[in-house]
Chain A
Amino acid sequence: MPPIIEVENLVKRYRKADSNAVDGISFSVEPGKLFTLLGPNGAGKTTTISILTTTLAPTSGRVLIAGHDLASDQSAVRKSVGIIFQKPSLDMNLTAEENVRFHAIMYGLYPFRPFYAFMPRAYKEQVRELAEILGIEGEIFKAVKTFSGGMKRKLEIIRSLIHRPTVLFLDEPSLGLDPASRRGLWEYLRRVRRESGTTLFLTTHYLEEAEEADTICVINRGKIVSYGTPEQIKSDLIDEYLLLDAEDRESLRTELQRLEVPFTETPQFKVPLNGVRPQMIIKSIDTTLSVLQVHMPTLEDAYLAIVDRQQAGEAGEAGEAGEA
């Protein structure tokens, strides 16, 4: 099956900015998959999603969504996608049902009717079903301003799915939600994927949300840092090694050479694990060790290391600017 999203060499430089917010990224997403754009604040996630959903013009690059070229066929792209924005985009003056109805009419699904009672039966059934899934049958005719943050998010998802988009974009959907609402949201999203086969394109800076993905694309300062399945990302980002040292370095070196494991002297002995269990190496060493450290970071550690690198880079630049 051809990819549902294809991005080639996408670049965005905001006006009056002196660097690219998105700096030549390319990736593709298979239909029905959960794709996650992971990165710290300011990495270019929202910029990317805004371009993919037509609200922002790219500086250069090519984007195809559901076979439609973003540059020439925006209307077709808009019809094919649904979006959950980072900030809630519901009209607080309207009821939940009115928000959904407004959306349905804007997408040309039903003719305009001023009251719910006048809407076609198909619409009423769709709304009833969705309200049931959410467990808000009792609240669907109530003003949105009375809803909790979690309810609003769910309502936005319902609304974005009513025109049956091929791709659903979610820009940090669990922002500002408590843990219970977050779990509820994820259960619902899994259900949506299972039942409708919708492709989900998610941005997040929460690692645990990214671990659910089929593909993770880690971006930082507008560039792709790592790309692949969560397992691939782990092996790519995570540097697992043993740190050894001994009073008798000569003996330790000889032993390691005899074991045929690669190592570097820094001047301590750094032994990359490459999937080998630390115990396998340690039990074969007789030299008395003065240092024994097992370095096996979690994905979170690896991810934080990227963020730290970025912050260190920013501090460096600020320093240079200060000197100049």
Chain B
Amino acid sequence: MSEANAITAIAYRDLLKLLRDPARLVTTFIFPFLFIAVLGGSMQAALGDAVGFNLLTATFTGVLAQTLFQSTAIGVISLIEDRESDFSQEIFVSPISRYSIIFGKILGETLVALPQGVAILVFGLVVGVPLTFEDVLVMLPVAVIICFFGGAFGVIILANLRSQRAANQIFPFVMLPQLFIAGVFAPAVNLPPALEVLSHIAPLRYAVDLLRGVYYQGSAEYSRVVMDPPLFNLGVMGALFAGFLAVGTWLFVRGERNR
């Protein structure tokens, strides 16, 4: 019971931070908005008729998944920053399980990422992405799952980093390539074999494809946009989540104590 209370307290702290300083999120909207409006919009205008599905919509769903994934991952990695500003010392000397600490942090960063998802949904409506209330309803639980998944990805990155500086240097290298090989802007189909393998290694691929899987469910474009069945993606994500979380937390705690 006290573990659940502690997890909630850690998550609540992140939410409070967001509520007290919402301005810091404004910059995080710039890239998603540019990707959707400029990239998605221009691709649709130039190639839309040729590919047989709406590129603006595909980009929108991809960027939505990517933003949720990335925001939670970066948020979890901020545990390093905490450690440097020394607040995490206060968390790590408390008598709760290390797994609870990490899970609380993932939960908190999920609460921070979801409002960003809402902003992107609204933006999608503005630029003309077809969105029904039903679409939003089925995408919401998937959004939460993607956040958890991104958080676990953050843990495995965090476990291998020693400073915020290292994080700032490494993160673009593990994130940027995924934008392309995971098929954020357009489905990653007809790739050369080497890239096909890489695409399947990129965790973001499964998050993007899962969101598209539920959004395009029952539509004529489904077979052209969605790469794997949602249940398959969900299974892969579940396995990776458990693995990242268990191994990442273990590595992180070991690295902290065995300096």
Task: For chain B, residues 1 to 50, give those with C-beta under 8 angstroms from any C-beta of chain A.
Answer: 1-2, 4-6, 8-10, 12-13, 16-17, 20-21
Q: Is A55 an interface residue when CB atoms closer than 8 A count as contact?
A: yes
Question: Quick check: B92 and A106 within 8 Å, CB to CB?
Answer: no
**Which residues of A have CB within 8 Å of B51?**
none
Contact assessment for B259 and A85 in the assembled complex, using a CB-CB cutoff below 8 Å? no
Of the candidates B2, B89, B257, the one whose C-beta lies within 8 Å of that of A108 is: B2
Nearest chain B CB to A168 CB, angstrom units:
12
A56 touches which of B21, B90, B95, B259 (Cβ 8 Å)? B259
- Contact residue range for chain B? 20 to 34
Q: Tell yes or no: B232 within 8 A of A by CB.
A: no
A102 contacts B86, CB within 8 Å? no
Q: Report if A89-B89 is in contact (Cβ < 8 Å); known contacts: A75-B95, A106-B96, A108-B2.
A: yes
What's the minimum C-beta distance from B29 to chain A, rounded to whole angstroms? 21
Counting CB contacts under 8 A, is A72 at the interface? Answer: no
Contact with B along A71-109 (1 / 0, CB 8 A): 000011011010101011111011000100111011110
CA distance A250 to B126 in the complex (A): 107
| A15 CB to nearest chain B CB (Å) | 6
Q: Is B93 an interface residue (CB 8 A)?
A: yes
A87 contacts across to B, CB distance below 8 A: 86
Chain B residues contacting A275 (CB-CB under 8 Å) are none
- Could you say which of A79, A81, A93, A101 contacts B20, with CB atoms under 8 Å apart? A93
Those of B240-259 within 8 Å (CB) of chain A:
256-259
Given the interface pairs A93-B17, A105-B9, A106-B6, the reply to whether A55 lies near B86 with Cβ below 8 Å is no
Q: Which residue of B lies closest to A104 (CB)?
A: B9
Chain A proximity mask over B82-104: 1 for CB below 8 Å, otherwise 0? 00001101111111100000000
* Minimum CB distance partner of A111 in chain B: B5
B interface, CB within 8 angstroms of A: 1-2, 4-6, 8-10, 12-13, 16-17, 20-21, 86-87, 89-96, 256-259
Q: Which residues of A are in contact with B by a Cβ distance under 8 Å?
A: 14-15, 53-57, 75-76, 78-79, 81, 83, 85, 87-91, 93-94, 98, 101-103, 105-108, 110-112, 114
